[in-house]
Amino acid sequence: MEEKVTMMEELIQGFIQRITIVETEIPAFLKTFLSQYKETLDRIASRIETANKRYDDKKIQQQIDELNDVVSRIPRVIGVKNSHHFGAWSKSLIIGVLIAFVITAGSFGTALYLNHQNDRLNEEAYNFWLVRAMFPKTAETIITGLKDEPNAFIAKAEKAMEKQQAIATAKAIADQADKDQKAARDNLNKVRSAK
């Protein structure tokens, strides 16, 4: 610690010596500098004075006042009419983009519809494959009927499907009627038990 303190004192002493040298030598340097360049500095000062005299302060102030007056008379908000019109190339571009969008949307919708139809046909093909595997005689009858008289066989199948749908609809209505009748009986029993 003592060594470090000693080093610090030596550094401080060195700085003090340098500062005293700077304090004593700088005024002498400035005097010699000023004596050497006095003529140049005097010329610069005289030019600054002549330049100041060339421009009349009153005239400059008058111009500033006039400029402030003009600026104060300028309206703060300037109305601008703006109009935009589409050029020939812009109209063609917009029409082209709209046509491309319509074609893309139509293609996408058609693709979804065809995918749905394909799924339905695959399901029906799988169902027929199951019928063929489990009931080979029935499948053979269907294939023979389609080969011999396709229109009559399809009409017969459509009538059978309509009949099955009518039966399913009637059964659903009957089940709903049973549920309604049961709900009415339960409601009647609740009312009777409440008396």
Q: Which of 95, 119, 117, 99 lies closest to 107, judged by CA? A: 99
Question: Has residue 36 been placed in a domain?
Answer: yes
pLDDT value of residue 176:
93
Q: Is the pLDDT of residue 1 over 90?
A: no
Asked if pLDDT for residue 78 goes beyond 80, the answer is no
For residue 119, being part of any structural domain is answered with yes
Please give the tally of structural domains in the chain: 3
**154 and 130 assigned to the same domain:** no
Domain for residue 135, yes or no?
A: yes
Res. 195: pLDDT tops 70: no
More confident position, 160 or 91? 160
40 and 27 in one domain? yes
Residue 127 in contact with residue 134, Cβ under 8 Å? no
Residue 38 has pLDDT above 90, yes or no: no
Give the mean model confidence (pLDDT) for residues 82-108. Answer: 87
Residue 84 lies in a domain: no
- 194 occurs within a structural domain: yes
Tell me, yes or no, whether 160 and 187 share the same domain. Answer: yes
Has residue 193 been placed in a domain?
yes
Q: Are 17 and 25 in contact (CB under 8 A)?
A: no
Which residues contact residue 94 at a Cβ distance below 8 angstroms, ignoring those fewer than 6 apart? 86
Same-domain check for residues 40 and 10: yes
pLDDT tier, 111 (very low <50, low <70, confident <90, very high otherwise): very high
Among candidate residues 175, 174, 181, the one with its CA nearest the CA of residue 189: 181
Q: Among the listed ranges 4-8, 74-78, 142-146, which one has the minimum average pLDDT value?
A: 74-78
What domain range is 50 assigned to?
2-54
Residue 61, domain member (yes or no):
no
